[in-house]
A and B are shown apart, each in its own frame.
Chain A
Amino acid sequence: MADASTRHAYRDRLAELLPQHPRTVCIDTDTGLFTGSEFGDAGSRYLNIGIAEHNLMGMAAGMAASGWMPFVNTMAAFAASRAAESVKIDIAYNALPVRIMATHGGLSAGYLGPTHQSLEDLAVMRALPNMTVVVPADTAATRALVDTAMDLPGPLYARLGRKATPDLPDDAGLPVVGTVQRLRTGPDVLIAATGPYPVHYAQQAADTLAGLGVGATVLNVHTLRPFDVAGLLDAAAGTRLVVAVEEHWHCGGLGAAVAETLAEHQPTPVARIGMPDTFAQHAGSHEDLLTHYRITADAVVDAVMSRITRERKAP
């Protein structure tokens, strides 16, 4: 499959499914992702309510409480920060089946800047009871997630991107909500990643490490909540280091989830590759920013090799 953006994969799949599912609605906040014409005869179930994210979340909750399944569209920054209280009280507290489809996740907003980047959304959404939190790593996983969302109980937060990102290899298979997806197995280290570029870089790093004689298991942590504790522990068993890779501040994201889980159940050294404790300080494309802030395959390789070097030096 050619690389494309996960937000467009979502749009295209919802356009196919919404007409077939008579209780679904699509509520938009002037994001430009939809025109309404995608839904054909079901166009009356597409509502562009304007730039109003609190209103979006409350309205979606009211509709869901009346038996509808709203797919709501905004950017991750506005879903998780601006409208956080409405998500918490109106949607999560009531365990209502609202699908929060949050685009521009992580650093994918690129040069739009920190107002539009979202590096805290996973922490916010992971904290909420009843919430399912998913970061599809490519377009196929995004399409599968829209399918799954039609039957998933309770609310869903899906972090999507903006521009095209690398797809996983066709033979990778599809992830299942609530479980980690193992992309390869190696004996020495575990690389756990979430989101398109982090998973892509994890795979590249594993290739490089193999050339250096280090075998890596790679997990696509597609679901952040509920967190697949057993899947992580199984993949981490016997490894010397677990590296978490994500586009998120260290606080509350994948690295935090990995560290919490391992510390509690199966102590293992952890290295966290993610956004350092800063807002982006300059303009850049998505990839430029990832490179600048060292969310890269090289950073993963360096984290692994420095650990191994330290172990070798230790008496």
Chain B
Amino acid sequence: MTVTAPDLTTLHQHAHRIRERIVDVCAGPEGGHLGGSLSLVEVLTALYFDVMRVDPDRLDDPDRDIFLLSKGHAGIGLYCTLAERGYFDPAELAGYARSGGRFMAHPTRSIPGVEMPTGSLGHGPALAIGFAMAARLAGSKRTTYVVLGDGELQEGSVWEAAMGAAGLGLDNLVAVVDRNGLQLTGGTESICRLEPVGERWRSFGWSVTEVDGQDLEGVRDALASAPWEPGRPSVLVARTTKGAGVPFVAGTPRSHYVALNERQHARARSALRRAAGGDRNG
């Protein structure tokens, strides 16, 4: 449980190590969903190291905040964050996608800290309603966080739940849309237009805030101040870059699923080091 808010430098250090581990896992034999994991790092860092009331040593705490990765294909991003947060030994990440291991591309509950299995898109929001309603009935102060991909918003079940959550007035529910603008084969706007994303959520009865999703401080401040309107669920539209931190794939559809070869892995790690150094110097 976070007792005192960590300073921004510490948060950046966590984010840097999470990115390094994501890159390392995607250099493994199966590769992985690199781009959509990297775009989420600031959101995951803010939630797990500042905003959420969670404790790896008290997994069954009935009042713990709940995190659901509705865009389950960013499992690597979540695993690397959970490892950094102390849910399991980071050395276990080397077992990603290994036969007989527990780390599959999409999260399962066999991994400490994973509340629900996800991967088939569009399930997280309804699950989140259940966790949020359970908290309301129990009188718990739990907040439920659910992270969606932007391409995922093309699933109808997202909007069924969006309507339902607003109808129930669940202001203990916070959604984040990882608005990186890309899905597997191209741009969201050319495949199935999503804009105006914020207006769409607002019209469904949600309180909406938009933020630069790679701005750790801005993301943290926005999430920490939710709910922004009493009686409404909150959605943070995080404008992100798919593949953020790895320049040779960032902002491109090919970042979606990458198996980094040895040379690419070294280039990626080097770019992350440079960026971290720049942050510290800047």
Chain A residues in contact with chain B, CB under 8 A? 25, 44-45, 47, 49-50, 52, 54-68, 85-86, 89-90, 93-94
Q: Is B244 an interface residue when CB atoms closer than 8 A count as contact?
A: no
7 intermolecular pairs with C-beta atoms under 8 Å apart: A49-B167, A49-B168, A58-B125, A58-B126, A61-B116, A86-B123, A90-B127
Name the residue among B130, B133, B135, B168 with the largest chain A CB count within 10 angstroms: B130
Residue of A nearest to B109 (CB): A94
Judged by DSSP, the binding face of B is: helix
Contact A67 B125 (CB under 8 A): no
Q: Mark B253-266, 1 if CB is under 8 A from A, else 0.
A: 00000000000000
Residue of A nearest to B131 (CB): A62
Residue of B nearest to A53 (CB): B160
With A62-B131, A63-B133 given, is the CB distance from A52 to B163 under 8 Å?
yes
Contact B160 A52 (CB under 8 A): yes
Contact A58 B129 (CB under 8 A): yes
Q: Which residues of B contact A60 (CB under 8 A)?
A: 130
User: In angstroms, how far is the closest chain B Cβ from the Cβ of A62?
Assistant: 2
Contact A62 B126 (CB under 8 A): yes
Q: Which residues of A contact B128 (CB under 8 A)?
A: 62
Q: Which residues of B contact A65 (CB under 8 A)?
A: 115-116, 127, 130-131
C-alpha gap A303/B236 in the complex (Å): 64
User: In angstroms, how far is the closest chain A Cβ from the Cβ of B46?
Assistant: 23
C-alpha gap A93/B138 in the complex (Å): 25
User: In angstroms, how far is the closest chain B Cβ from the Cβ of A259?
Assistant: 32
C-alpha gap A249/B123 in the complex (Å): 30
With A49-B167, A89-B120, A94-B109 given, is the CB distance from A64 to B130 under 8 Å?
yes
Q: Which residues of A contact B154 (CB under 8 A)?
A: none
Contact A94 B131 (CB under 8 A): no
Task: Report, nearest first, the 7 A-B pairs whose CB atoms are least far apart.
Answer: A62-B130, A58-B126, A66-B134, A59-B130, A63-B130, A62-B131, A62-B127
Contact A89 B123 (CB under 8 A): yes
C-alpha gap A55/B135 in the complex (Å): 17
User: In angstroms, how far is the closest chain A Cβ from the Cβ of B116?
Assistant: 6
Q: Mark B144-167, 1 if CB is under 8 A from A, else 0.
A: 100000000000010011011001
In addition to A47-B168, A58-B161, A59-B164, 15 A-B residue pairs with Cβ atoms within 8 Å of each other are A52-B163, A54-B126, A54-B157, A54-B161, A58-B130, A61-B130, A62-B129, A65-B131, A66-B130, A66-B131, A67-B138, A85-B120, A85-B123, A86-B157, A89-B123
Q: Which residues of B contact A61 (CB under 8 A)?
A: 116, 126-127, 130
Q: Which residues of A contact B125 (CB under 8 A)?
A: 58
Q: Which residues of A contact B218 (CB under 8 A)?
A: none
C-alpha gap A57/B167 in the complex (Å): 17
Name the residue among A58, A61, A90 with the largest chain B CB count within 10 angstroms: A58
C-alpha gap A52/B157 in the complex (Å): 9
Residue of B nearest to A93 (CB): B117
C-alpha gap A50/B128 in the complex (Å): 17
Residue of A nearest to B133 (CB): A63
User: In angstroms, how far is the closest chain A Cβ from the Cβ of B244?
Assistant: 29
Contact B134 A63 (CB under 8 A): yes
C-alpha gap A60/B164 in the complex (Å): 13
Q: Which residues of B contact A90 (CB under 8 A)?
A: 116, 123, 126-127
C-alpha gap A90/B123 in the complex (Å): 8
With A65-B116, A89-B117 given, is the CB distance from A55 to B157 under 8 Å?
yes
Q: Which residues of A contact B164 (CB under 8 A)?
A: 49-50, 52, 55, 59
Q: Is B3 an interface residue when CB atoms closer than 8 A count as contact?
A: no
Residue of A nearest to B130 (CB): A62
User: In angstroms, how far is the closest chain B Cβ from the Cβ of A23?
Assistant: 9
Contact A62 B133 (CB under 8 A): yes
C-alpha gap A65/B131 in the complex (Å): 8
User: In angstroms, how far is the closest chain A Cβ from the Cβ of B114?
Assistant: 11
Contact B117 A94 (CB under 8 A): yes
C-alpha gap A56/B125 in the complex (Å): 11
C-alpha gap A85/B122 in the complex (Å): 11
Contact A58 B135 (CB under 8 A): no
Residue of A nearest to B72 (CB): A89
C-alpha gap A51/B109 in the complex (Å): 30
C-alpha gap A60/B229 in the complex (Å): 26
Q: Mark B70-113, 1 if CB is under 8 A from A, else 0.
A: 00000000000000000000000000000000000000010000
C-alpha gap A63/B134 in the complex (Å): 5
Residue of A nearest to B135 (CB): A66
Q: Is B62 an interface residue when CB atoms closer than 8 A count as contact?
A: yes
Q: Which residues of B contact A49 (CB under 8 A)?
A: 164, 167-168
Name the residue among B115, B126, B167 with the largest chain A CB count within 10 angstroms: B126
C-alpha gap A74/B116 in the complex (Å): 24
Contact A67 B126 (CB under 8 A): no
Contact A55 B134 (CB under 8 A): no
Q: Is B5 an interface residue when CB atoms closer than 8 A count as contact?
A: no
Q: Which residues of A contact B168 (CB under 8 A)?
A: 47, 49
